[in-house]
Structure 1
Amino acid sequence: MAARILITTDYLHPGDTVDQLLREHGLEPVYSPSRGPRTLEERRRLFDGVSGVILASEPVTANMLASAGSLQVIARSGVGYDSIDLQAAAAQGIRVCNAPGTNHHSVAELTIGLIIMASRRLLEVTTAVRQGHWPREAGHELRGSILGIIGHGPSGRATASLGVALGMTVLVSTAHPDPADTAVQFTDLDTVIRRADYLSLHTRAGKSPGKLIDALRLQAMKPSAVLINTARGSLVDEQALAKALSDGTIAGAALDVLENEPLPVDSPLRGLDNLLITSHLAGQTAEARIRAGLAAARAVIDVLENREPAHPVDR
């Protein structure tokens, strides 16, 4: 009997390139797309009888893994893996992999797109035009402004390159500055936050319990600054951000990731005119999806065929 591979990534489908690759290696893909929170019973039974999982961004807890007797590998069809209990997986000998380097150009392009939307107030303008108005308010050029980037992984570097191409001064805070990258200025976190006109997050969640962007750091930003988060919803204190946007502590924000997705109906972020929210789609271009899906499938195949995967996050 062929080993069964569960696929929860909602853009992967029977008959696509990932499906074909798995079948060429004698594996049987089965599908349970992630389209929102599952019930407790659905989560408990999700991994029953499968040897590998190609996973969307939904959480994987110790309780879910406790009943996953045949599971050998979890492969994220993306970069982030904060939602997976790595300790519980390691305790059961389950390998965990991700797919870095597959969507960073997509993330960078959306980041710059959100910055342009905020700087030229495109959401307000297009909404007003649809309502029959004809607004002529001045926006701001990006050339000459300061782009602050926290994190210098693939998406941070790609965003920095686009910022430089647009004539922005790029300040970067990272634990691993690259002396060869002379197009940007590496500096400390507080300086980046204080000086940025556009502050963009491209880092993993830290091990400390607090949020990277909390009330104090929002207060340290320029009143004219815009916060952009295409990295992790857990990086930002959403209550503090809602207050900062309402009070005018900062001028605006654009979020592609949230603490809880989809956006809860009672979220304090709802109804704010100076906030853009997109539906966790920074890496979701057609090209990036193909690369990420194939990278996850290759990781599953490698583990099941007793080879070391290219991008393990568990070792």
Structure 2
Amino acid sequence: MLMSAVLDPSAFDAEDFNDLYRIQAEDFLQGIWRNGVLIVDSERKLQEELFKKAASLPIKGNRLRTLLTDLLKEKSKRVTVPSVLPSNISSRDLLDLTCHLKRDTEPDGLIVGNENFEKLRFDPEHRHGIVPLSEYRDSNFEEERQRYCDGLGPIDTLARSEVDEIVIRSARFSKWLKLYDAYIGTGENTSHFRKGIEYILSLWREHGFFASQQGVGSVEIFTCPAEQIRDDETDSAKESKLERNQENYQKVVRELVEPLNEDFPWPIRLSVKDDPDGIFHARYLETQHAIIRIDHGFDLFKPNGEFRRNFFTLNMMESSHLRECRNLPDASV
């Protein structure tokens, strides 16, 4: 799903720019906008230098300047990690910083300019995963990014490792997960939902960059009550539905939420929302950097352990819809 990159400021050295180089740079930045993240240092050394590089681009680079500056400002496109270098750093130190980030975070690529590519291409520690921006279009990084962007098809036709990779790439650099599935609140098939959610949380625990740190990480499951209570119903009907909804809620807490909280180190919270207009339908996994639409919800497995027919689709345009779902009134359960 998501590709991760460290962007060395040397990739935007003005002297390297011609029309072909500019096209390569635009392709890289547009690709990150679609399904990628940039890894930056917490002291903002890389960001500040990249802003300077953007400002110094030639007039023909106006579109490129906008792409780069907007990308650096977008929180969902940045992964911020601690750095260990002093504040008064030189251009060589900046290369050291990018190599440090590459070593610590193991991204898909370190994107560099031509000069720094020559410095690193024969370095046994750093040569793998180095992508000169001048050759970006033909890189393995772009080929892989495009493959994930196009979608991999139904998960029951994929190898388990490929489905694992979809989840890992979506959640690896996130400090929280949000799961949306209205059907969970019915209280039916809780063991099936638990197995699917355990699968996702286990991958996050094992591969998450931040999730293994003490005190970091949270999970929230958003759902709806089994029965919506309408204003025009009789008091008796309302009371009956409320009682059934409360019973279902307790069943979900007992059979799903409490076991998950016992098995995993982060707080796992259940939020039940009233949805009188029926907007809460599609199912999603949301992370800090990705929104994955899960067509048939978190009941992912057949009784034999194989995946059911389901689709994991990257859909970053759904953030406002998910915000609307989170802002629905809390149900009386």
TM-score class, shorter-chain normalisation, is under 0.3
- Rg bigger for which structure? 2
More helix by share: 2
Give TM-score scaled by structure 1 length.
0.21
- TM-score (structure 2 length as normaliser): 0.20
